[in-house]
Amino acid sequence: METNRLFNSITAIYRPYVKLCRPIFEAHDLYNGQWLVLKDIAFHQPTTLVQISTRRAIEKPTTRKILKVLSDKQLLEISQGTDRRQKWLTLSHQGKQLFNQIYDEVTKVQNHLIDTTNLSQEEIDITLNTLTTIYEQIVQTEEE
């Protein structure tokens, strides 16, 4: 069935892609999960643990552990919200520098992949639209 092939292809790409990027993360003393949270903060700052957990679809205790590591590495600035329990997270100067460096390195890997596959911009756009539509449906289904 074509549906199975589509979802098998989506899930099949994940691990090889992470493996391809792993040397970049390791060179900067990060794991993939830490990078994804760092990137999430960079794109959504200021943000909170709950917001990160929701956007990344990871459990709050896991998010909390990752944030502790990033904070210990002095990659975050944490400020108190109006509610004592809420903390606002942004990247520190060091966090911004690290994010930009890793982002540039990952972008080079991604560009190389696209260049070597000879995908047209139209094919990329169709794929992006398809994946976005599936993602939005999954999120909507989870909220119901």
CATH code for the domain of 106: 1.10.10.10
What integer pLDDT is reported at residue 144 of this predicted model? 75
Alpha carbons 126 and 137: distance in angstroms, whole number: 17
Averaged over successive runs of 10 residues, the pLDDT of the chain (144 residues) comes to 87 94 97 96 96 93 97 95 86 98 97 93 95 91 79
Domain extent, residue 104, equals 2-143
Task: Quote the number of domains for the chain.
Answer: 1
CB 89 within 8 A of CB 78: yes
pLDDT at position 1 is 65
Helix (H, G, I), strand (E, B) or coil at 35: helix
Backbone φ/ψ region at 74: left (φ over 0), alpha (ψ -120 to 50), beta:
left
Q: What is the pLDDT of residue 81?
A: 79
106 and 25 Cβ atoms separated by less than 8 Å = no
Do 38 and 103 form a contact (C-beta atoms < 8 A)?
no
User: Count of CB atoms within 10 A of residue 57's CB?
Assistant: 9
